Amino acid sequence: MLKLNVDGSHKGSTGCIGADGVIRNSLGEWIGEFAVNLGMGQILDAELWSLFLSSCLIGDLLGAAKPRMICVV
């Protein structure tokens, strides 16, 4: 079993957004993590990116060899 904690962040005064997350096993041991500056956007953008990036990380950790393309406009 894996436990995933993710968060999106938004700095209201500048509009900068970011996303981060950590994955732990059933014993609470660290498995993987990510943190990324996403540039400008809304809080919902940051939250959705955090979910997407965490699913990519889990796929990488589980060896899912599926090509993916990320396009940010």
User: pTM for the complete prediction?
Assistant: 0.74
pLDDT given for residue 73 in this prediction: 43
* Domain encompassing residue 26: 2-61
pLDDT given for residue 50 in this prediction: 92
Report the alpha-carbon distance of residue 4 to residue 59 in Å, rounded.
13
47, HSE (Cβ side, Cα atoms, 13 Å): 3
- Residue at 69 is within a domain: no
Q: Which tens digits make up the pLDDT trace of 35-57?
A: 999 999 999 999 999 999 988 88
Instruction: Tell me the residue length of the chain.
Output: 73
Percentage of the chain with pLDDT > 90? 51
- Residue at 41 is within a domain: yes
- Residue at 34 is within a domain: yes
